[in-house]
Structure 1
Amino acid sequence: MNATVLVTGASGFVGSHLVPVLVERGDRVRARPLHPDTYEGAGEPVYGDVADVDSLRAALDGAQAAYYFVHSLADDDFEQRDAEAATTFGHVAADAGVEQIIYLGGLGDVDDHLSPHLQSRRDVEQLLGLGGVPVTVLRAAVVIGHKGISWEITRQLVDHLPAMVTPKWVSTRTQPIALRDVIRYLAGVLGEPDALGKVFEVGGPEVLSYKDMMRRAAKIQNHRSPPILPVPLLTPRLSSMWLSLITDVDQATARNLIDSMNNEVIVRDDAIRRLLPGELTGYDEAVRLALEDRADDPSIRESERSPGAARS
């Protein structure tokens, strides 16, 4: 059944890939990008600020479902901001008669002392549902795709460093997933009765450490695999400064992500694969696809397209 759907974050990493898929299959998509006035993507651009209840109500009016891709990771007070935004969104969605909210959260075991970032993601899951709308949650680890922050950290570290003195989180296990598989799952749970009010863990076919991911990404780009020397005493603050110096990720985002990289994030429940069966993309192929998308990106200067080129 085709639906009227609001996609927040429509110009972001995940939203910009999801909107065209929904439009192509016949859903009426209201795209809520960061800047509606200059939005040129698929769907109908709308304004809907989570801090402006009236605009949010207008964006949600008549929608059967809504995708929630809102976060404030680059802000020091991201936990409070995200909590307030999710609470407001959930209540306004309920008042508008929305039947399903779909949220992309983060993997992680609650018994593993979740980082503030991952705990905030878990809190948002609960807050979105306070208004009474069934929330479908997909929890993912690293999403491999062009412009994904976690993938960009991996790519830029491989590009920029002949050798790495790294924090101990490089040995943490994670279960990366290709962007196209995340999009298939996000589209697949829309309007699916068996997905209402459910939490699904999503991941690719391999469990890897961040160190493994960097070494394999280096091989795919024809780089020599960099020697990696973990330093257990490198603090989160120093580690975030190190990342912000070597990559173009700002320090606040780097600090929040690094805290999460100490948590093992792997799939424990594969229920999503029974609900939406399909072949998963391997890590190496996901990396190749991300690099191809980067090579085709007109916003990337020609001098930066080749593997190993520096990025400003």
Structure 2
Amino acid sequence: MTETKRRPVVALTGASGYIGNHLLTYLTKFADVIALTRNADNKEDSEHVTWRSCDLYSMSDADEGLKGADFAVYLVHSMMPSAKLTQGSFEDMDVILADNFAQAAYRQGVKQTIYLSGIIPKAKKLSRHLESRLEVEEVLRAYGTPVTAIRAGLIVGPKGSSFPILAKLVKRLPVMALPKWTRTKTHPIALADVLQALQKSIGNERLSGRSIDVGGPEVMTYKDMMIQTAEAMGKQPKLFNLPFLTVKLSRLWVSLTTNTPKETVYPLIESLVHPMIAHKELMDEEVSYGKTTFKEAAKQALEEEREEQERQAKKPKKPNVAPSEIQHDVRSVQRIPLPEGKSANWAAQYYVKWLSGVMNPLLTAEVDKELNCKIGFHFLLTNNPLLELSYSHERSQKDRALYYITGGIFDNKEKNERGRLEFRKIPDKNECIVAIHDYMPSLPWFIYKYTQAKAHLWVMYQFRKHLERRIHQSKPFERDWPTYSETSPC
């Protein structure tokens, strides 16, 4: 993209992250940037950068974040927990984030979304990580905004995920037993080459709607990369092949050795059984062919890391400050099947009826004409329910049912500002995401974590199994359909 009379406006998600922060510098040369991050309070706007706080788990936040954007760059991935207690898989979290973003991009008139994805091998069964990347591509395309997916393998840079893990292994282990996956071929690419590919894709109509593989000048094994990384460090570790170390054992060993959270390591190691080589038919002359060799990129990454450590060491130490109160918030996300032709709103209403039936006589669930719901214990000597859910007619639609948590014994009324429960159909699939966001429980945290939180997981597991059995047996659901003509137990 080149300079025009009116500078284009690019919304950049994950702007304070590893790749986003580097890309921000590139983009300001030709565009005005809306830099989106979960907390922009400590960020200062500049001539060509406007910071906005944006939690993409919130659809309304996504709408506000993308207002005024011509193009958008999507760099979001949810491997790490996003709340004090996070229940659910990163795949399901990624679906919610991408769906909110895609709907907002369509409503705000974004002309093109650029998504940094992963190379997708030609395999019958992909790893969870790669399946998720592909699913996110599909969700981002589901509402009509043209998407350019830049698919990269291992990105060589000072931070991020894969290369720093590899570098830590080489640095910390003078002797390395190499499992089978270290002989898998991959197509590493330097961070600078990825940034150029992303930049050149923005506003590029020729690439709009396409998935483009990118890679550096070399195809290598992970063992080759370890050897060259060791050479860049001036080390000579002893390496020997180990045929029997499984992926499950490898991921634990890598996590412990590198002191990297398992939420990051496990999905990445599981993906290493696949060759991650760019496909010629998906490569483009303008953006696909990185020119930086692996060893050059590794040396630069290691040097940048060393310089950053020196800068941090020279910074004056901040005085000890009493820690602020910990936010005891909850995010719980589960995926359930949907019968053919059923919507998210159907799933929400059917769930309430099923819950009252399966938990009878312990629980009662009442729904009024406005679809507001109260869930309580039969034996409580009070009219106050356990939870009170208010249906949002304004924010709900056929494929999304949204309830705000507005009361009940289990609701922390003082702190619960954005607590909500949603049912969301995944585009083009007979599947639904059921999610609790920003919930602040009233129970003491330790008690909540091992009682109410566990009970919710059990209930959602039973509901999923119930739906799977009914769908498999081809039993009709219509006779179970609840009638809400008046406020009454479901």
SS in 2 for 1:263: coil
Identity level (%): 36
How far apart in 1 are the matches of 2:200 and 2:185? 27
Corresponding residue for 2:206? 194
User: Which one of 214, 220, 233 corresponds to residue 226 of structure 2?
Assistant: 214
1:229 shift after superposition: 2.8
SS in 1 for 2:280: coil
How far apart in 1 are the matches of 2:36 and 2:249? 36
How far apart in 2 are the matches of 1:138 and 1:146? 20
Amino acid across the alignment from 1:67: V
Amino acid across the alignment from 1:84: I
SS in 2 for 1:38: coil
SS in 2 for 1:237: helix
Extract unaligned runs of 5+ from structure 1: 304-312
User: Which one of 144, 158, 163 corresponds to residue 156 of structure 2?
Assistant: 144
How far apart in 2 are the matches of 1:84 and 1:162? 43
1:242 shift after superposition: 0.7
Residue 278 to residue 203, structure 1, CA distance change in 2 (3 Å) = closer
- Do 2:213 and 2:288's aligned partners in 1 also have CA atoms closer than 8 Å? no
Range with bigger deviation, 38-47 or 51-60? 38-47
SS in 2 for 1:24: coil
Amino acid across the alignment from 1:263: H
Range with bigger deviation, 7-16 or 263-272? 263-272
Corresponding residue for 1:159? 171
1:59 shift after superposition: 1.1
Q: Give the number of equivalent residue pairs.
A: 301
1:194 shift after superposition: 0.4
1:112 shift after superposition: 5.1
Corresponding residue for 2:24? 19
- Do 1:11 and 1:41's aligned partners in 2 also have CA atoms closer than 8 Å? no
Corresponding residue for 2:135? 123
Residue 40 to residue 110, structure 1, CA distance change in 2 (3 Å) = farther
How far apart in 2 are the matches of 1:300 and 1:223? 24
Residue 30, structure 1, aligned to residue 41, structure 2: no
- Do 2:187 and 2:220's aligned partners in 1 also have CA atoms closer than 8 Å? yes
1:24 shift after superposition: 2.1
Residue 249, structure 1, aligned to residue 255, structure 2: no
Asked which structure has the greater CA Rg, the reply is 2
Amino acid across the alignment from 1:90: A
Amino acid across the alignment from 1:107: I
Corresponding residue for 1:56? 62
Corresponding residue for 2:241? 230
- Do 1:16 and 1:41's aligned partners in 2 also have CA atoms closer than 8 Å? no
Corresponding residue for 2:327? none
Extract unaligned runs of 5+ from structure 2: 82-87, 315-490
Provide TM-score, normalisation by structure 2: 0.59
How far apart in 2 are the matches of 1:171 and 1:58? 46
The Cα offsets for residues 39-94 of structure 1, whole Å up to 9 and x where unpaired, read as 36972211121111222111111111111111112356001110121112111110
Residue 108 to residue 246, structure 1, CA distance change in 2 (3 Å) = same
How far apart in 1 are the matches of 2:246 and 2:43? 40
Residue 41 to residue 230, structure 1, CA distance change in 2 (3 Å) = farther
SS in 2 for 1:67: strand
How far apart in 2 are the matches of 1:85 and 1:201? 23
How far apart in 1 are the matches of 2:180 and 2:272? 9
Corresponding residue for 2:390? none
The Cα offsets for residues 206-256 of structure 1, whole Å up to 9 and x where unpaired, read as 0000000000110111101x2223333323332122111110311121111
Range with bigger deviation, 133-142 or 238-247? 238-247
How far apart in 2 are the matches of 1:202 and 1:258? 21
Q: Which has the higher contact order (CA 8 A, sep 6+)?
A: 1
Amino acid across the alignment from 1:243: V
The Cα offsets for residues 150-198 of structure 1, whole Å up to 9 and x where unpaired, read as 0001110110001112321111100000000000010001001101101
1:296 shift after superposition: 1.8
SS in 2 for 1:44: strand
SS in 1 for 2:41: helix
Residue 294 to residue 36, structure 1, CA distance change in 2 (3 Å) = same
Q: Which runs of 4+ in 1 moved over 4 A?
A: 270-273, 298-303
How far apart in 1 are the matches of 2:223 and 2:143? 42
Larger proportion of helix: 1
Residue 5, structure 1, aligned to residue 17, structure 2: no
Residue 78, structure 1, aligned to residue 93, structure 2: no
User: Which one of 283, 286, 294 corresponds to residue 283 of structure 1?
Assistant: 294
Residue 173 to residue 94, structure 1, CA distance change in 2 (3 Å) = same
